[in-house]
């Protein structure tokens, strides 16, 4: 896979509406995009999922940019024939999975184009669409009800709502029972670690299909207690950064399933191993989002279409977070589903005008 040139683009786009949770009030999305080219001019696109500051994960836009420039881009100019081989060559690097995943994504996009295949076909997926899913942040119960109603009208069947211990369980139960056709998942982002177990038990009674990350990432005692003693199945999100973490979920009986964020575990290859482990050990798994642009969304859609991914993931329409995404192709929900791109590679192209407006800085290297 001879790489001729690499371009990094640091981009920033305001969110259509602030994404406000217990953890952070996000008003704009900053990210690093990577564009690689081979000697025939074919391109590969990658997108990093790290945020501007370390409020959700240790890696940030700055750390990703720095590791890419200092360590990973030079490795792109070495000799390798497949993305797997590049990953193996780079395996001496500790951590920095989001930086690695950015390169891995660009390599898969380019490699699939070189093979004249869609990334979905290349990885052996047989599904051309997956179930969509939306995340709802809210301040008042009226706002929650209104957003759920709008989501149902768009066609979403799976709704993830952000919860905290200060919400009223009876009000949440009422919202759930008012929308009997929808599947509700609650994401607590670790907020129940700081309150009494009685408070959590009240939320366990609400009737959510799943509760995501009720306790902090390493609060395994509590997760194990809720998983083995209570009724609502638990999914772990922040706790899952590697296959080893998923193996702990099985061996220590911590949860019913996991949220797999490919960018957080290092990309497609580690995601594939995790999905296989989940299949062999009856763990539920869904592909989670991190307020991503369309490059990462397209990549994640292909991964979500693999056999073994058995819960609808974070796949909302392109205009849910933005007025206009940085890619050309819009992602839409049709009958509750979203199509997995089937053009060569990941299947998306940059929108030149939107990109130009979003670019903060660029970095270019040639072999
Ligand atoms: O906890 O799943 C989370 C966004 C940023 C950081 C953490 C999370 C989220 C989401 C967004 O819930 C899901 C999406 O991108 O659709
Ligand atoms: Mg989550």
What pLDDT, in 10s, does the model give residues 139-197?
999 999 999 999 999 999 999 999 999 999 999 999 999 999 999 999 999 999 999 99
Position 22 scores a pLDDT of 85
b/e 76-94 (16+ beta carbons within 10 angstroms → b): beeebeebeebbeebeeee
**What pLDDT score was predicted for residue 91?**
84
Distance from the alpha carbon of residue 322 to the mean position of ligand 2, in angstroms: 20
339 CA to centre of own chain:
17
Percent of the chain, pLDDT > 70? 100
What pLDDT digit, counting tens, does each position of 5-61 carry?
Answer: 999 999 999 999 999 998 999 999 999 999 999 999 999 999 999 999 999 999 999
Q: Which of 162, 216, 222, 297 is catalytic?
A: 162
Pocket of ligand 1 (CB under 6 A): 56, 135, 187, 189, 237, 288-291, 314, 316
Query: Which of 20, 57, 130, 135 to probe ligand 1 with, by most ligand atoms within 8 A of CB?
Result: 135
105 pLDDT higher than 90: yes
pLDDT band at 343 (very low <50, low <70, confident <90, very high): very high
Burial 207-224 (b: 16+ CB within 10 A, else e): ebbbbbbbbbbebbebbb
Number of the ligand 1 atom closest to the C-alpha atom of 292: 15
Ligand number, closest to the Cα atom of 49: 1
Protein residue whose Cα sits closest to atom 13 of ligand 1: 289
Residue 192 DSSP symbol: G
């Amino acid at each position: 896979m001879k790489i001729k040139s690499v371009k990094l683009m640091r981009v920033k786009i305001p969110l259509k509406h602030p994404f406000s949770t217990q953890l952070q009030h996000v008003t704009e999305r900053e990210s690093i995009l990577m564009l690689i080219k081979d000697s025939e001019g074919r391109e590969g696109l990658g997108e990093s999922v790290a945020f501007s500051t370390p409020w959700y994960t240790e890696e940030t836009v700055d750390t990703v940019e720095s590791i890419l420039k200092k360590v990973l881009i030079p490795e792109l100019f070495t000799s390798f024939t497949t993305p797997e081989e590049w990953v193996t060559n780079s395996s001496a690097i500790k951590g920095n999975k989001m930086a690695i995943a950015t390169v891995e994504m660009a390599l898969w996009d380019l490699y699939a184009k070189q093979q004249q295949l869609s990334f979905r076909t290349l990885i052996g997926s047989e599904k051309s669409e997956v179930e969509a899913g939306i995340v709802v942040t809210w301040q008042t119960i009226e706002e929650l009800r209104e957003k759920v109603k709008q989501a149902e009208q768009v066609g979403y069947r799976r709704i993830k709502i952000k919860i905290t211990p200060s919400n009223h369980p009876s009000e949440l139960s009422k919202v759930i029972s008012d929308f009997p056709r929808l599947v509700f998942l609650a994401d607590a982002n670790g907020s129940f670690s700081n309150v009494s177990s009685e408070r959590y038990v009240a939320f366990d009674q609400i009737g959510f299909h799943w509760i995501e990350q009720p306790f902090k990432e390493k609060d395994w005692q509590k997760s194990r207690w809720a998983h083995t003693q209570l009724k609502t199945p638990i999914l772990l999100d922040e706790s899952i950064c590697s296959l080893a973490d998923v193996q702990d979920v099985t061996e220590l009986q911590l949860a019913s399933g996991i949220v797999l964020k490919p960018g957080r575990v290092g990309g497609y290859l580690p995601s594939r191993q995790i999905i296989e482990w989940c299949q062999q050990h009856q763990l539920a798994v869904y592909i989670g989002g991190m307020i991503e642009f369309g490059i990462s969304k397209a990549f994640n859609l292909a991964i979500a279409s693999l056999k073994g991914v058995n819960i609808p993931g974070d796949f909302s329409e392109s205009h849910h977070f933005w007025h206009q995404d940085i890619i050309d192709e819009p992602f839409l929900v049709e009958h509750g589903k979203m199509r997995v791109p089937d053009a060569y590679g990941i299947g998306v192209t940059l929108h030149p005008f939107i990109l130009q407006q979003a670019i903060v800085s660029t970095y270019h290297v040639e072999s």
